[in-house]
Amino acid sequence: MEAICIMRGIKPERKPDPTGSGKMIEDFWGPSQKMLGDMKFLDALKSYDKDNIPEPVIQKIRQKFSNNPDFDPAVIKKISVACEGLCRWVRAMDVYNRVNKVVAQKD
């Protein structure tokens, strides 16, 4: 859900680290619940402006998720079929962005 929030520009809540380190952590759970409760959530994914993904957004996705072995549809499917679909969507947006840049360079 964190990846979807990042893609959609939804900011996390900042909360104290539960380990007691005194640091603040980014918590996407509250914003994720609110996003999932939105009746137009699916429409927002379908109409996502994939041709204009901001570079900082796609870089954050690549850094946090693209090479993460746990962010794999097959792994996620074991936990949630719905989340598997969301994982596939994020990965598809990443691939589309890479291909779109290659095609744009050839034009």
List pLDDT tens digits, range 43-56.
Answer: 999 999 999 999 99
Q: What is the pLDDT of residues 62-83, one digit of tens each?
A: 999 999 999 999 999 999 999 9
Q: What is the pLDDT of residues 78-106, one digit of tens each?
A: 999 999 999 999 999 999 999 999 988 87
**Which residues in 1-107 belong to E strands, given as ranges?**
13-16, 24-27
Q: What is the pLDDT of residues 4-33, one digit of tens each?
A: 999 999 999 999 998 989 899 999 999 999
Residue 107 scores a pLDDT above 80: no
pLDDT at residue 104, rounded to an integer = 82
The model's pTM is 0.90
- Which of 105, 1, 101 is CA-nearest to residue 55? 101
Q: Residue 29 in 3-state DSSP?
A: helix
d(CA 80, CA 66): 19
